[in-house]
């Protein structure tokens, strides 16, 4: 009997934010290949006899490289197993789910995608920052911070600075100086609000907010690190007004007139 691969989004961290369908896949899986940022609480929903395989990746330190993960998905499915590839956030938002889906297709393995809530939306929401707002932001973009040092991608920053109201940057904290530099060079005001949300949606969530001019020093003072989402745009100013999750909101950024 042929097996099947389920590419499941685990959500941004809070275990209650996984979808009902994603949870059902976990409960029924024969084997679960899970990432570093998946909340361990979710693995408690696995069957007692399910095999759990850690596939976590740290910068320059991969428990399992992507090619090996791809081959495992195919191998286990061809053994007739129900395989869950459990990813933080959403499989198709900087999760390499597209590559894994391609591998399944090329090897004749049936697969299904179960979308998850991505941290680019959830982390700002838990910090009191809506990525869209009727008067402040009519557009938003997701981008990976890994491109910040890529000369070929510099034109993208220029486009984003002028064409998009809210920019959400994944995996960007180590590239923060370059991100700030590119945006300022592309015409963004030094007073543009920016926030970094660390461990978004989890009890230990911390947010550091400032402007493009001040954010680097504030991040250095706070000691904030990965995993953190970066949000850039006027919607950050709403944080002091509609924050609902964290106990403190610092610093105060005034709401711009509509």
Question: What mean pLDDT comes out for the span 152-156?
Answer: 70
Give φ, ψ of 65 to 5 degrees. Answer: -75, 165
13: region left, alpha or beta (phi > 0 left; psi from -120 to 50 alpha): left
Q: Which helix (H) or strand (E) holds 111?
A: strand 111-114
Would you state the pLDDT for residue 257? 42
Give dist(CA 3, CA 79) in Å, integer. Answer: 7
Is it the case that residue 248 has pLDDT exceeding 60?
A: no
**Sheet architecture: strand order including 31-34:** 51-54, 31-34, 82-87, 4-9, 111-114
Of 63-72, 133-142, 146-155, the least confident:
146-155
Q: Which is the catalytic residue, given 35, 87, 188, 229?
A: 35
Please say if 171 is a catalytic residue: yes
CB-based contact 45:25 (threshold 8 Å): no
Would you state the pLDDT for residue 255? 47
Name which of 226, 146, 217, 154 is nearest 184 in CA terms: 154
Instruction: Scan for tokens 């995993």, then name that residue.
Output: 227
Q: What is the pLDDT of residues 169-219, one digit of tens each?
A: 999 999 999 999 999 999 999 999 999 999 999 999 999 999 999 999 999
Is it the case that residue 256 has pLDDT exceeding 60?
A: no
DSSP code of 257?
P
**More reliable by pLDDT, 158 or 239:** 239
Would you state the pLDDT for residue 2? 83
Q: What is the pLDDT of residues 47-95, one digit of tens each?
A: 999 999 999 866 555 578 999 999 999 999 999 999 999 999 999 999 9
Is it the case that residue 96 has pLDDT exceeding 90?
A: yes
Give dist(CA 144, CA 146) in Å, integer. Answer: 5
Task: Name the token pair of 9.
Answer: 């989004």
Please say if 229 is a catalytic residue: no
Give dist(CA 60, CA 7) in Å, integer. Answer: 24
Strands 31-34 and 82-87: what pairing? parallel
Report the alpha-carbon angle 103-53-27, nearest 5: 90
**DSSP state letters, 178-208:** HHHHHHHHTT--TT-EEEEEETTTSTT-EEE
The residues, any chain, with a CB within 8 Å of residue 118's CB and separated by 6 or more, are: 9, 12, 89, 90, 93, 142
Give dist(CA 177, CA 215) in Å, integer. Answer: 9
Would you state the pLDDT for residue 90? 98
Task: Name the token pair of 172.
Answer: 């960007």
Please say if 64 is a catalytic residue: no
The residues, any chain, with a CB within 8 Å of residue 203's CB and separated by 6 or more, are: none
Please list the helix, strand and coil fractions of the chain in percent, rounded to the nearest 5, in that order.
35, 25, 40
Q: Is the pTM of this model over 0.85?
A: yes
Provide the pLDDT confidence category of residue 11 given band limits of 50, 70 and 90: very high
Would you state the pLDDT for residue 221? 95
Would you state the pLDDT for residue 258? 38
Report the alpha-carbon angle 79-84-88, nearest 5: 150
Would you state the pLDDT for residue 93? 97
**More reliable by pLDDT, 151 or 109:** 109
Is it the case that residue 100 has pLDDT exceeding 50?
A: yes
**More reliable by pLDDT, 152 or 161:** 161
Is it the case that residue 9 has pLDDT exceeding 50?
A: yes
Q: Which is the catalytic residue, given 14, 30, 171, 188?
A: 171
Q: Which is the catalytic residue, given 21, 57, 78, 82?
A: 57
- What are the structural domains of the chain? 4-114 (3.40.1010.10), 119-242 (3.30.950.10)
Provide the pLDDT confidence category of residue 155 given band limits of 50, 70 and 90: confident
């Amino acid at each position: 009997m042929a097996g099947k691969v389920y590419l499941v989004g685990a959500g941004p961290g809070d275990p209650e934010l996984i979808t009902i369908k994603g949870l059902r896949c976990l409960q029924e899986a024969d084997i679960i290949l899970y990432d570093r940022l998946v909340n361990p609480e979710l693995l408690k929903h696995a069957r007692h006899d399910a095999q759990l395989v850690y596939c976590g990746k740290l910068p320059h330190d991969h428990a399992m490289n992507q090619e090996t993960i791809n081959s495992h998905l195919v191998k286990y499915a061809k053994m007739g197993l129900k395989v869950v590839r459990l990813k933080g956030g959403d499989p198709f938002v900087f999760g390499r789910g597209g590559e894994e889906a391609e591998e399944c297709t090329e090897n004749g393995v049936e697969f299904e995608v179960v979308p998850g809530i991505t941290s680019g939306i959830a982390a700002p929401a838990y910090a009191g920052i809506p990525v869209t707002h009727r008067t402040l932001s009519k557009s938003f973009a997701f981008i990976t911070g890994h491109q910040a040092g890529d000369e070929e991608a510099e034109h993208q920053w220029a486009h984003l600075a002028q064409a998009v109201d809210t920019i959400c940057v994944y995996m960007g904290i180590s590239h923060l100086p370059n991100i700030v530099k590119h945006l300022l060079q592309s015409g963004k005001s030094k007073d543009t609000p920016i926030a970094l949300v660390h461990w978004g949606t989890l009890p230990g969530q911390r947010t550091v907010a400032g402007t493009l001019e001040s954010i680097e020093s504030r991040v250095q003072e706070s000691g904030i690190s990965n995993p953190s989402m970066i949000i850039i745009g006027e919607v950050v100013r709403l944080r002091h007004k509609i924050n609902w999750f964290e106990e403190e909101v610092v610093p105060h950024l005034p709401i711009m007139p509509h």
